[in-house]
Amino acid sequence: MSKEFRISVKKKVNLSNFDPKDTGRFQNKDEVAKEIKELEQELQELQEKLIAGKEHAVLFVFQGMDCSGKDGVIKKVFAGLNPQGISAHSFKAPTEEESRHDFLWRTHHAVPALGQIAVFNRSYYEDVLITRVHGKVDDAEALRRFKHINHFEALLADNGVKVVKLFLHISKQFQLEKLISRIEDPSKNWKFDPSDLLERKSWKQYSNYYEELFEKCSKASPWHLIPSDNRWYRNYAVLKIAVEALRSLDLKEPPANPELQQLLAEIKEAEK
Amino acid sequence: MSKEFRISVKKKVNLSNFDPKDTGRFQNKDEVAKEIKELEQELQELQEKLIAGKEHAVLFVFQGMDCSGKDGVIKKVFAGLNPQGISAHSFKAPTEEESRHDFLWRTHHAVPALGQIAVFNRSYYEDVLITRVHGKVDDAEALRRFKHINHFEALLADNGVKVVKLFLHISKQFQLEKLISRIEDPSKNWKFDPSDLLERKSWKQYSNYYEELFEKCSKASPWHLIPSDNRWYRNYAVLKIAVEALRSLDLKEPPANPELQQLLAEIKEAEK
């Protein structure tokens, strides 16, 4: 499955070749309900091993157009995990202090320590997306940034941090329906951000820049393209990729410490 | 319930008057199973309101002797929440840099922003506990720190952060059994910390210092004493206190924005 949606470095991706409504070999969510239960359980067990072993870390990077469901999928897939082993970070427009640092500074600070999982809701990839659309970063600078990103992700990999990158792929129509529902449903008004309407006008440009970064930044860690017009399938696919990422670390139970046995006799004697 | 275990500021607490095996009006965990399900559901709903409203924050401070189950209860009660709205922080011995700051510096940095929940596994209270037991903080300094803590918690309260303090109360015998099980069970060896044995020798001193801080630091926010020899009751009590804490904020649904309706017509027109 995660191979199915993995983007190969070699060939240029054309996003319009990927159907955002794709649901793989499944027709509806009932067909994945049982597997989801099992995967959720497995993810929890894998996380406990990750925490105990302190030899690996996993960073999940979520990107996608506005309304693609980053918040929703993060909640759905990662609630259930031990909060002491996971942290989520949402990156908005940089603060003034952050702007006076290199573009990787603020995200570097938030990468997971060994034993931990971190989830990025948007990331340093915005620094080759919205900044380009807004004309703050030109093509030459974007090329340099692609390189810096690859080096940064290689550094993380060298330190035991597995970087799992997920693009939530929605259709332009899906976004429109979401935006309208945020206006029509008064309880969702607080989620509506007028700037989303503005960014929507640059849909094509965003798509092009995404296609370029998929091509240029899949060296140290591949991108996964998640068809996300169907919420249930999006959640299932991300959960499956998350489990497979942790499985791939081949996490071991922490070793027993035979020296402790001697201590046991002493403790029992002392407490008599 | 949360009142039941709330420590009054006025009277000095004698820990030996509190039975760590207490299970309130319940005999076993089956009796609370249904209520736990409901409380878990309610906690999730309250958290969503907290996130949406961004007017309040909640800080849960966990203290207790080694092996009192801080890790366990944090996992049990707070897994299930949206990871984007909760962060957990574990405070070990301070780093060199942290030691060169005042004792509240590192914890202040980790307090929750409005809309967020933070969980402290140990806290600034260690700075009037282990530091005193180890002779690094004398009585006069401890008195000054109690004052600083009260001022700090008042500052947080003034900024909309509700501080909920929980002491996991176990018996000395319970700790011994836990320590032994961490040695006897090879898969738990990694959890065994030899320094716990050393600290155990200062049990009485720790108890005295806890009693003193309960008396001196319950002004801005009360302490809750959780009987914790029975895991199921400990989990239930903490969950109930957590839900009651969020309930007490009287969280409102975020208000609708009537101005958006006009936008809707424009959007539909533009997308034709």
Residue B1, pLDDT > 90, answer no
Nearest CB among A74, A183, A186 relative to B84 is that of A74
Contact: A83, B87; criterion CB under 8 Å: yes
Element (H, E) at A210: helix A203-216
- 26-85 of B, contacting A, C-beta below 8 A: 44, 52, 71, 74-75, 78-84
Contact B127, B145 (CB under 8 A): yes
Element (H, E) at B90: strand B86-90
Per-residue pLDDT in tens (0 to 9) along chain A, 272 residues: 556 677 665 678 899 999 999 999 999 999 999 999 999 999 999 999 999 999 999 999 999 999 999 999 999 999 999 999 999 999 999 999 999 999 999 999 999 999 999 999 999 999 999 999 999 999 999 999 999 999 999 999 999 999 999 999 999 999 999 999 999 999 899 999 989 999 999 999 999 999 999 999 998 899 999 999 999 999 999 999 999 999 999 999 888 888 888 888 888 888 87
Report the C-alpha gap between A48 and A85 in whole angstroms: 8
Give the alpha-carbon dihedral of A102, A108, A110, A113, to 10 degrees: -160
Tokens 């332009």 sit on residue: A172
pLDDT of res. B231: 96
pLDDT of res. B168: 97
Q: Greater confidence, A27 or B268?
A: A27
**Complex ipTM value:** 0.90
With contacts defined as CB-CB under 8 Å, which chain A residues touch B118?
none
Report the C-alpha gap between A63 and A131 in whole angstroms: 15
A205 at B interface, C-beta within 8 A: no
Of residues A117, A115, A119, A120, the one with CA closest to residue A56:
A115
Task: Return the number of other C-beta atoms located less than 10 Å from residue B81's C-beta.
Answer: 25
Q: Which tokens in the block code for residue B146?
A: 């109690």
Nearest CB among A44, A81, A184 relative to B83 is that of A81
Contact: B80, A79; criterion CB under 8 Å: yes
Strand A117-121 to A86-90 pairing: parallel
Report the C-alpha gap between A160 and A55 in whole angstroms: 7
With contacts defined as CB-CB under 8 Å, which chain B residues touch A186?
256-257
Task: Return the number of other C-beta atoms located less than 10 Å from residue A256's C-beta.
Answer: 15
Q: Which tokens in the block code for residue A22?
A: 């794709």
Interface size between A and B, measured as CB pairs under 8 A: 112
CA angle A224, A229, A230 (to 5 degrees): 95
pLDDT of res. B10: 61
Task: Return the number of other C-beta atoms located less than 10 Å from residue A165's C-beta.
Answer: 26
DSSP track, A120-131: EES-GGGGGTHH
DSSP track, B207-230: HHHHHHHHHHS-SSS-EEEEE-SS
Q: What is the pLDDT of residues B9-33, one digit of tens each?
A: 567 889 999 999 999 999 999 999 9
Q: Which tokens in the block code for residue B92?
A: 């070990």
Report the percent of chain B where pLDDT is more than 70.
Answer: 97
Element (H, E) at B61: strand B57-64
Q: Greater confidence, B4 or B202?
A: B202
Largest CA distance in chain B: 77
Contact A156, A59 (CB under 8 A): yes
Sheet holding A86-90, edge to edge: A86-90, A117-121, A57-64, A161-169, A223-227
CA angle B60, B62, B68 (to 5 degrees): 150
Nearest CB among B52, B71, B183 relative to A260 is that of B183
Domains of chain A listed by start with CATH number: 15-270 (3.40.50.300)
Q: Measured in whole angstroms, how far is the alpha carbon of residue A122 from the centre of its chain?
A: 8
Contact: A82, B87; criterion CB under 8 Å: no
A113 at B interface, C-beta within 8 A: no
pLDDT of res. A1: 54
With contacts defined as CB-CB under 8 Å, which chain B residues touch A58?
none
B114 at A interface, C-beta within 8 A: no
pLDDT of res. B7: 67
Strand B86-90 to A57-64 pairing: unpaired
pLDDT of res. A9: 57
Contact: B255, A119; criterion CB under 8 Å: no
A16 at B interface, C-beta within 8 A: no
Q: What is the pLDDT of residues B85-144, one digit of tens each?
A: 999 999 999 999 999 999 999 999 999 999 999 999 999 999 999 999 999 999 999 999
Q: What is the pLDDT of residues B38-97, one digit of tens each?
A: 999 999 999 999 999 999 999 999 999 999 999 999 999 999 999 999 999 999 999 999
Tokens 């005295």 sit on residue: B208
With contacts defined as CB-CB under 8 Å, which chain A residues touch B83?
74-75, 78-79, 81, 83, 86-88, 119
Report the C-alpha gap between B251 and B80 in whole angstroms: 20
Nearest chain A Cα distance for residue B112, angstroms:
13
Report the percent of chain B where pLDDT is more than 90.
Answer: 86
Task: Return the number of other C-beta atoms located less than 10 Å from residue B262's C-beta.
Answer: 9
pLDDT of res. B124: 98
Residue B255, pLDDT > 90, answer no
pLDDT of res. A90: 97
pLDDT of res. B191: 92
Contact A170, A230 (CB under 8 A): no
pLDDT of res. A115: 97
Query: Over chain B, what is the mean pLDDT?
Result: 94
Strand B117-121 to B57-64 pairing: parallel
